[in-house]
Structures are given as structure tokens and as C-alpha cells.
Structure 1
Amino acid sequence: MTSTTPRTTARSSHRRGPVGAAALRLGLLALVAIGIVGASLELAFERHWQSPVQLIPWVAIALLAVALLMLAVRDAGPALTVVRVLAVIVLLASAYGVLMHVVANHGMGAMDPDWDSMSPLAQWWSALTKSVGGAPPLAPGMLAQAALLLLLASVTPKRKEPLA
């Protein structure tokens, strides 16, 4: 049996703590960047720019990119507050996108011959699950996920804390 003093054990785990937090932060920032690129590509593939309302996710992506860069450069003080506010704005835009997609699908339900015989709850469920209409209701959720990851990254430390 090997004996290790409590001081040695505490010191080695303390060294891993800040490094682990920094790696977690970097991973979260990378996931945000992947989300930004993925959402941008999806919107471009769908040619999602044909009306002013369709430009909302592009603005949200731009805000998310600015917030990501701000957090990567500075993670304290007013910059951190701005990053968090921008992430919340993107979350709200994402929720609006989900709602608009469901409403658009619901509007297409009239083309379904069984639509009038369905209960209102079943109609909305069909719109949410894309059983009617072509708007993907969960696609805006990609932006919400990236915004939440950015919020999580904003609570992890950027710099390693000094060893005690």
C-alpha cells in the first residue's frame, strides 16, 4: 500500500481543476462555433432570406458570432454582461422561430383533407411534428442550443487560477 500525504493529493487535484475548466470552456466555445457554422449553412441551403422575417435568424447568428468573439477575447466586466445579453436575445429569437415555423405549418394544414375533422390539439401537434407543412420547427432550436452553450461558457473561467 502506498501512502500519499493529503497535501500531495490536494495539490495534484488542484492543478487539474483549472486546466479542466479551461478545456471545458474551450470545448463549449468550439461547440458554439460549430453551431454558428451549421445554422448558417442550413439557412443558406434553404435560401432563408426571401422576406424580412427570414432575416431574423441571420441577425441572431451575427449576434452569436459577435458574442463568441467577445467571450473569447475578454470574459470579465461589461463584456461578459454584453455576451450574456446577446445570448438571451438569440434564445428569444430562436423561440420566435420555433413559433413561426409551427404557425406556418398549421396554416398549411388546410391542404390536408382530414384537417377539419381533427381536434385543435391534434392540428397543433401535427404542425409541431411537421406532419403538415414544410417548415422544420426544431431548426431554430439549433440557435438556442448554441446560445445556451455560450451562456455555459460564460460561467467557466478563461484563465488558469494561480496554484496555491
Structure 2
Amino acid sequence: MHDEVAPGRGGARHARLVARFQAALLALSVLSCAFVAIELASLRHWKSAEQIVPWIVLGVLVCSALIVVVDRSRIAITQARLVALCAAPAALFGVYEHVSANLDTGVLNHKYAWSELLGWEHLWLASTGAVGGTPATAPLVLALAGVLLGLATVGMTTDTARDDLAQNPGVDVSRVRT
């Protein structure tokens, strides 16, 4: 409705708002990676090859986000989207590993008659954390960081990067690479 009253003024305002949301989503992605790294470090989550996987995913997610911040070229945006897609399978692998570890230790839990329970009950107890010591859904935070990174690139083009810089009088737009 505002665009109908002043047809020429809504575009720049809309572009600034979108750029702010993109920056906020990028920041949330990087912050979630930082907090997951702190949590993993406090748990000393590096004792086996499988436990290194989230560290690699976190590093790639952060590097990918920083590449998009520094260079909004088409290749930078594309790589961020690919990295975001790769975070989901890594997170699902983590969920599988955590549930599997909980299943292995479920027999040690004296609260349940483990041998008398059905298979789906074993899976339910391991998935909900009722048995075992690993949080089954914690790895999904990697997928969240990937989704945030992917959402930050929605609508991001090399043209919008140039337009955002053109509105800042302190930046020489002729030197911006696209």
C-alpha cells in the first residue's frame, strides 16, 4: 500500500531491510556455530573419528559464512548454499551416532527391563534420552546453522551487493568486484 502512494521510494527501503535480515541470519549462523563449538570443547568431543565430524562441519559453515560476508559473488553465494545443504546430512549422521550410542548403553540402565522391551521401545528410549548419556537431537543444531546460512543467501545476488554498497557514500562502487 505504501508503494502505491510513493511508487519510486519503496525499492531502496525494501533492499535495505532485506540486507539487514540477511546480515542477521548470517550472524545467527556464525553465533550458533560458535556456541556449538564451545559446547563440544567443554565435552571434549574429539576422542574418535566420528566425533571430529561436527568440528569439520562447524569450520566449513563459518568459513562459508565469512566468504559470503567478504565477497558476494555468484560463486560465493552458490558455495554457501551447497555448504548449507551439506550440513543437514552431517547433522543426521550425528543423530544416528547419538541414538546408536544410547542403544548400546541402554542395557546398562536398571530402570527398564531392557531384554523384555520391544525393538521400537529400545529406539524410543534411546531417541528421547531416557537411556544413554548422549543427547540424541543435539547434532541438529548443525542443520539449524546450515539452514540459517542458506536462508541468508535467499534473494542475495551480485547486483544487490553492488546496490547496497552504492547507497554507502564512503564506498567507491567502481572498485567492487562482481
Same fold (TM over 0.5): yes
**Corresponding position of 1:28:** 25
Inter-partner Cα distance in structure 2 for 1:34 and 1:102: 26
Distance apart, 1:132 and its partner CA: 0.3
Q: Normalising by structure 2, what TM-score?
A: 0.81
**Corresponding position of 2:142:** 143
Runs (4 or more) in structure 1 with deviation over 6 Å come to none
| 1:28-47 matched pairs, under 5 angstroms | 28-47=25-44
Q: Normalising by structure 1, what TM-score?
A: 0.88
The aligned amino acid for 2:98 is H
**Corresponding position of 2:74:** 77
Q: Relative to structure 1, is the Cα distance of residues 7 and 102 closer, same or farther in structure 2, using a 3 angstrom cutoff?
A: same
SS in 1 for 2:34: helix
**Corresponding position of 1:152:** 151
| 1:2-151 matched pairs, under 5 angstroms | 6-8=4-6, 10-113=7-110, 114-151=113-150
**CA offset digits 1:120-155 (Å, max 9, x no partner):** 111101101000000111111111100000000111
Distance apart, 1:6 and its partner CA: 3.5
Inter-partner Cα distance in structure 1 for 2:41 and 2:131: 23
Distance apart, 1:5 and its partner CA: 9.4
Contiguous gaps of at least 5 residues in structure 2: 168-178
SS in 2 for 1:11: coil
Contiguous gaps of at least 5 residues in structure 1: none
Asked which structure has the greater RCO (Cα within 8 Å, sep 6+), the reply is 1
Give the share of equivalent positions with the same residue, in percent: 31
- The Cα RMSD (Å) is 2.1
The answer to whether the 8 Å contact 2:3/2:9 transfers is: no
The aligned amino acid for 2:54 is P
The answer to whether the 8 Å contact 1:22/1:156 transfers is: no
SS in 1 for 2:107: helix
The answer to whether the 8 Å contact 1:112/1:132 transfers is: yes
Inter-partner Cα distance in structure 1 for 2:29 and 2:93: 20
The aligned amino acid for 1:84 is R
The answer to whether the 8 Å contact 2:3/2:10 transfers is: no
**CA offset digits 1:67-91 (Å, max 9, x no partner):** 1111112233222222222222222
SS in 1 for 2:133: coil
